[in-house]
Chain A
């Protein structure tokens, strides 16, 4: 750093310190942010300038926090970085008042520093947003994947809503793990609540059935709507020897029969009661 540049920089530091109240006031108006937050950032900026500009860790931490908070509150990334850029405008008024060449030269240096910080804010904002979206996607996946026990040795996955490839995969993995954990030898995948099935989703369902078979369990698919049956045939997807049933009740009855359990309707009892009345 040349002597000139060093002088210019020190002049800016002086201006920032001397006119703190005025600059902060202006900045708060431009940035539309809380005064406290900006004061904290302002102080961090001053203290890091004192220690030489290489030490910006504290300042970056504060800016990252600001970006995160704003991402959550639904501000746009442009608003968020504009808040940081606003400091330039706030300082410029003071520099103009000073008018000296050192201050002008220093302002260019300062401007570059703020640009970097602004871009950093933009980046933190984007990272924070991505994090939020990822978290939500994960929560949604967990919400939508129940595996329920229907009977001893029989489990079912009632699928509801639009199936995409990722969700189908998660559900299938969970189903297979449940087979291991519970020792259930029969599983029913019920797609009554699924409005449409594309080739990829159908493939995932088929793969799950074949995988279950490899593990030593049997899968039945139930609740195929007429339109979906039509799509499956039109797409030319081979269901092969996979058992399909119209309703979850049919599938349960089938699974019960396969596990050697017989269900008898208690009709005889009712007749007996009637005879007593007569």
Chain B
């Protein structure tokens, strides 16, 4: 099973998905991340999916679950780098990724986290 590395930058955790994840790895990532948020006391999570070629309902659900779990643990989640083809497919599939914030790229994702935290200290 492949494990996705979780990077720490200040109080932000960054996950960059670079491989075609099987469902088991997706579930593992969800758990690893929740643990990491608590261990590091992270206030923000950025999931970079620039390299992800498809997001099906399973991965879509992972994104929503991570966002909801992190919120309970007092961390905001931003998904960055979604490809146009992936976005169009998600819309067609009927998946709205409710509760997930998105940004065009990593830089804008970090800026968005700063902005969100500035608004709700």
Contact = CB atoms under 8 A, between A and B. Distances in A.
Given A176-B84, A177-B84, A216 B104 contact: yes
Interface residues of B, number: 21
Interface in A175-199: 176-177, 179-180, 183, 185
A215 B88 CA distance: 10
Nearest to B105: A183
A214 B87 CA distance: 6
Contacts of B88: 172-173, 176, 207-208, 211
Interface stretch (B13-21, B22-30, B89-97): B89-97
A211 B104 CA distance: 12
Interface of A is mostly: helix
A210 B93 CA distance: 12
A205 to B, nearest CB: 12
Select the residue from A172, A207, A214 with max chain B CB neighbours within 10 A: A214
A32 interface: no
B80 A216 contact: yes
Interface residues of A, number: 18
A176 B103 CA distance: 13
Contacts of A217: 104
Interface in A144-190: 172-173, 176-177, 179-180, 183, 185
Contact of B83 (A180, A207, A208, A213): A180
Contacts of B83: 180
Interface string B76-89: 00011011110110
A231 to B, nearest CB: 22
Interface of B: 79-80, 82-85, 87-88, 90-92, 96-97, 101-105, 108-109, 112
